[in-house]
Structure 1
């Protein structure tokens, strides 16, 4: 028999006969009134009936998601213990939390809203029909998919932002006992404790919903409690999650402590999981039936019914609430399935790009402010040609003066000024709360940035080397880039992510410090990727990147070519051919723009980053051989400015694409396709080999070279 039906029939029979569990938590001692308890019971029943309806809708082919919340209805007590303005990052089994919170905010209809989500209706108020997610703008619940624990790092970031703003709220994030073992959860718990250990305000409540099993794999007895209770810097509070009154009391006690002390804590709820993992999951295939039945006997709704009976509510009144909510759920489901669905790619993709917002024009720093901030040496540097590393440093200082909401974070960026000195002096100028030295955990750095971005800041996190991004790329792919999509543009997390990367470092570090692949970023919808080729370009592009984050709420990734940081010369030692002056205020490099140098019509070299530097060298050789060449520096690698690229090359007889990334998965593949599909040019490409990069004298052996570009160009021209 369907276990959902078994649990349903058992609830009716046991409440009808008064065969309910004994409860120890006293209603009066908890601070809940009878009316409060009745409201929580109604929220729990709504969650339960939604789970049952989700299975029925899937059976009919009208619903598309059946990971339910049955057994976790104690989370309604956590919602009651917090304020509806406290941001909540929810585990996917927390429908009862959202429903209980909705009762605290006028004008909400959580049953209808969730049924629209179950049926993928375009009117779904959180995702617009794109996914079944918990979430609500009105309830301060950002949407979450079922990604395991990936929302915990950004919850840490949101709590840090709340501390920065000196707000008196509490950020709550919940997760399962199996998810606790994921590196993302471990990193977030560690980061919270590491931060609190230093007395930095972090008002964060972790809630671990421990039902003892992850799909089919059980948590070792005592493991979760032992792991969570021994965390330095985190206050630990266990409670019986089956009993909503006990849960409320424990959550209120911990929440009040967090709100008062501005420190993080962990609420450890013991729960049961009813109906298995999800609709298709046949729990009896891996779990003995006596164990399943023992879990079902601990149904949280029976515990709440026991409290109601002790408070004098008649059995039939409890059953009436249960059955009336069931009827309401069925009636609304019949309406929800008839609501319009998304149909076209345009409709689905409409929320990938966040909505623009009106922002006040920033106040440009006065000459006196700039002189004070920069100091005499840097003021002189503004008027003299400089290498990229110095100009980026000056540009970031200028941006931080102009935009007080910019916050930088990363390993070694503060006192040390970064591995390459790019942020040198910024912490001294703007303070440790705006230029933060973080712990060594890329997931936590990016999570911090997401939380800050959602909270009104413009975060500028740094990943020390491009190869280190792979430890944390899901924070961009699965969290930052999807937030607008899954919230229909209601939630955003703008940021400007700085990453030092690409190749050509002489004899240093191999592929961990010379990583020449951007493929992991290029296929993420909505993410903007920029790669400057010289210091002036970098400053212009960073001005645009901050504008994009501030006004258009975009996620921008800036790849800084490490080998070009100190580059001074171009064609001969001492020629200073790659140093640039600091650009005038008000100038930037708009998204979609190119930097074209030269007017030659024989050949257009389309490139970026280190490729621009090498191509300028090759251009001198080609022009000496009598060929007229122009260089098209892409600047922005995603989205590619296709029309502008074609227009820049239109009058040229041939096009050579120079791409320092690997031949497979590089930008060159998209560029060759563009020219083949939309032009009649002769096209060739020079790329890196499909190889990791070596340390020592062979550091550039697998990469494009000046000589290789010249040879490919000559072959193409002939």
Structure 2
């Protein structure tokens, strides 16, 4: 094991995959000489050369479109979009080309690309650097969507995504890159800001896509979450003293429905927590699935805790985030139901 931040774990995953498979290439804006805006690709170009780690023009549509062609040719491109907010020009290439290539070619071609992008808020990046667009991808058949919450999973999930024969959207919570707060935020005293690094296995390993992690066992309530909100959930449960089971979904598509059903059937109560806006967020899908598959086990309505239904509020960033207090109120409410 080695102690790493999430940035270091992601960088290590790139290097391990590139060393193992000469078809893996890394591309995006400033990923080469500069090493990426968050330094996730630092040193890769000097180690593997400019043909395997290279900078692209500032054109997200062109970056992803080129990667789709490279994938059809047999390469395995790992694309970095500097911020998830910048992916909209490339959305048509992701949805209309990458997601459908296997189906429209009747299996003659596959599209083994990974599109990495930092997601969520917490760095005072305002509304064009802080969005959480995961539900825009989970809606699209043919895409897998991954959101790690810790360095070890970030490396294992990224290696599994690179090995996958189909396109994977890899969303990296930027608030976790160097730990939940990294000491640069207004509220460093929060109890859920204490874990900056994690134990990460050296060499190659995969964390399976579609397998959730039960981080805390409980019998009174099931709390489903992913990404940054995993740390919020664990802190809220610790502070509440309630017997809550916390599940880190890790991958949204494919979803580990079996683990969810097993947990909710046991507890009879469920809370869904995410940073994205409430309306049409991924929590709505989770709520519908729990309601459909666990109806006769539920003792109370499924509750959602999420961001506001508003454009990202730069000045009120910390009020926008679901924090431990909001989660604790939801725990109390669902247990009284």
Q: One fold, TM greater than 0.5? A: yes
**Residues 522, 620 of structure 1: alpha-carbon distance in 2 compared, 3 angstrom cutoff:** same
Q: Which has the larger radius of gyration?
A: 1
Which residue of structure 1 lines up, in the alignment, with residue 55 of structure 2?
A: 437
Which residue of structure 2 lines up, in the alignment, with residue 523 of structure 1?
A: 139
Query: Does the aligned pair in 1 maintain the 2:16–2:204 contact within 8 Å?
Result: no
Out of 242, 262, 280, the position equivalent to 1:665 is 280
TM-score, normalising length from structure 2?
A: 0.91
Which residue of structure 2 lines up, in the alignment, with residue 483 of structure 1?
A: 101
Shift of 1:694: 2.3
Counterparts of residues 282-293 of structure 1 (less than 5 Å): none
Query: Does the aligned pair in 1 maintain the 2:210–2:252 contact within 8 Å?
Result: no
**Residues 427, 701 of structure 1: alpha-carbon distance in 2 compared, 3 angstrom cutoff:** same
Out of 541, 556, 569, the position equivalent to 2:168 is 556
- Quote the RMSD (CA, aligned, Å): 1.9
| 1:706 maps onto 2:324 in alignment | yes
**Structure 1, gaps ≥5 residues long:** 1-381
Which residue of structure 1 lines up, in the alignment, with residue 305 of structure 2?
A: 686
Which residue of structure 2 lines up, in the alignment, with residue 630 of structure 1?
A: 245
Query: Does the aligned pair in 1 maintain the 2:173–2:227 contact within 8 Å?
Result: yes
- Point out the structure with the larger helix share: 1
The 2-side partners of 1:575 and 1:420 are apart by 20
| 1:547 maps onto 2:166 in alignment | no
**Residues 712, 396 of structure 1: alpha-carbon distance in 2 compared, 3 angstrom cutoff:** same
Deviation by residue 1:124-170 (Cα, 9 ceiling, x = unmatched):
xxxxxxxxxxxxxxxxxxxxxxxxxxxxxxxxxxxxxxxxxxxxxxx
Shift of 1:575: 8.2
The 2-side partners of 1:561 and 1:717 are apart by 30
**Residues 595, 574 of structure 1: alpha-carbon distance in 2 compared, 3 angstrom cutoff:** closer
**Residues 713, 571 of structure 1: alpha-carbon distance in 2 compared, 3 angstrom cutoff:** farther
Out of 22, 38, 45, the position equivalent to 1:420 is 38
Out of 507, 511, 525, the position equivalent to 2:127 is 511
| 1:498 maps onto 2:116 in alignment | yes
The 2-side partners of 1:596 and 1:621 are apart by 19
The 2-side partners of 1:717 and 1:585 are apart by 44
Deviation by residue 1:400-428 (Cα, 9 ceiling, x = unmatched):
11121100110011111111111111111
Query: Does the aligned pair in 2 maintain the 1:657–1:685 contact within 8 Å?
Result: yes
Shift of 1:586: 5.2
Query: Does the aligned pair in 2 maintain the 1:517–1:662 contact within 8 Å?
Result: no
Which residue of structure 2 lines up, in the alignment, with residue 651 of structure 1?
A: 266
Query: Does the aligned pair in 2 maintain the 1:596–1:648 contact within 8 Å?
Result: no
Counterparts of residues 308-323 of structure 1 (less than 5 Å): none
Out of 269, 278, 290, the position equivalent to 1:675 is 290
Shift of 1:584: 4.8
The 1-side partners of 2:4 and 2:63 are apart by 30
Shift of 1:598: 1.5
Counterparts of residues 272-671 of structure 1 (less than 5 Å): 383=2, 385-505=3-123, 507-508=124-125, 510-548=126-164, 553-567=165-179, 576-585=194-203, 587-623=205-241, 627-671=242-286
The 1-side partners of 2:191 and 2:253 are apart by 34
DSSP-derived class of the 2:327 partner: helix
**Residues 493, 620 of structure 1: alpha-carbon distance in 2 compared, 3 angstrom cutoff:** same
Query: Does the aligned pair in 2 maintain the 1:387–1:568 contact within 8 Å?
Result: no
DSSP-derived class of the 1:446 partner: helix
**Residues 428, 445 of structure 1: alpha-carbon distance in 2 compared, 3 angstrom cutoff:** same
Give the total of aligned pairs: 326
**Structure 2, gaps ≥5 residues long:** 182-187
DSSP-derived class of the 2:201 partner: coil
